[in-house]
Amino acid sequence: MKIITFTNLMLLTSLTLFTACSKSSPKPEDKKLSTLAIIGVSSGQTSQLPLAQTYPTQGNYHLSSADGDRVQTYMRNHYTVVNEIEQNAKKLLGIKYVWGATGPSTYDCSGFTQKIYRDAGINIPRVSRDQARVGQFIAYGDLVRGDMVFFDTKKKRSGIVSHVGIYLGSGNFIHASSAAKKIVVYNFDNKSFYKDRFLWGRRVVNDNYLMASL
């Protein structure tokens, strides 16, 4: 009996395994899977595949007249109205002050404010005391552009409204001044008289474009 060493045994085993693996390697198949085959559709069934539904990028939409009015009101927003108020008011700078006048060549304080807000589509009363009752009450620290500002300008102060202007922001307001005899822009910090005589503000333009009237 021949004695097979451990080294020879390992060599014989490796050769056997190599031969076996070489003989058992499968041949690659020629069949290829198409996308249709993967989803289980034969080539003859392609015409039966459902098509993706498409939608037009534009359509014909109709608004009722009431809806159209609401859209127009929404588009005419707070900033548009306030800008219009400021621009129209500044166009009248230098126009003469005359008590009781409502324009177009002369104005008193409330005639001036009524004209400016009316041109922006906001109806307010004629005299300052009545104008001081419309819209939302606003304290001095909460004033924003487009607010009305009211004063007691009488020598003997009683807290009763006697003057009105329009706030422009940054402490500035525009008004028809009886003292200056024309429409002017003043700043509260530079005109302590008006700051001391300030009563309150009224907001007749908000984010939803509020129209104020009695």
For residue 107, which of 174, 159, 190, 192 has the smallest C-alpha distance?
174
Choice between 24 and 133, residue whose per-residue pLDDT is larger: 133
Instruction: Determine whether 21 is an active site residue.
Output: no
Percent of the chain clearing pLDDT 70 (strictly above) = 61
pLDDT of residue 18: 40
Assigned domain for 123 exists: yes
Instruction: Determine whether 62 is an active site residue.
Output: no
Residue numbers of the domain that contains 116: 77-203
Poorest-pLDDT segment among 27-41, 77-91, 137-151: 27-41
Poorest-pLDDT segment among 59-73, 116-130, 152-166, 189-203: 59-73
pLDDT of residue 50: 42
Assigned domain for 185 exists: yes
pLDDT of residue 2: 44
Average pLDDT on 119-137 reads 96
Assigned domain for 13 exists: no
Assigned domain for 53 exists: no
> CA–CA separation, 212 vs 121, rounded Å?
10
Catalytic residue among 21, 62, 78, 163: 163
What does the mean pLDDT of the chain come to?
Answer: 77
Token pair of 103, please? 């324009």
Assigned domain for 48 exists: no
Greatest CA separation for the chain:
142
Average pLDDT on 88-110 reads 98
The number of domains in the chain is 1
Which strands make up the sheet holding 198-203, listed edge to edge? Answer: 106-107, 96-97, 182-187, 172-177, 163-169, 148-151, 198-203, 136-138
pLDDT of residue 6: 44
Average pLDDT on 86-94 reads 98
Q: What is the 3-state secondary structure (H, E, C) of 2-57?
A: CCCCHHHHHHHHHHHHHHHHHHHCCCCCCCCCCHHHHCCCCHHHHHHCCCCCCCCC
Catalytic residue among 21, 62, 78, 175: 175
Q: What's this model's pTM, rounded to 2 decimal places?
A: 0.64
Choice between 74 and 116, residue whose per-residue pLDDT is larger: 116
Assigned domain for 41 exists: no
Choice between 29 and 175, residue whose per-residue pLDDT is larger: 175
Catalytic residue among 21, 62, 78, 109: 109
Assigned domain for 84 exists: yes
Query: Can you give the CATH number for the domain in which 93 is found?
Result: 3.90.1720.10
Buried b (16+ CB within 10 A) or exposed e, 109-143: bbbbbbbbbeebebebbeebeebbebbeebeeeeb
Assigned domain for 71 exists: no
Choice between 57 and 98, residue whose per-residue pLDDT is larger: 98
Token pair of 25, please? 């390697």
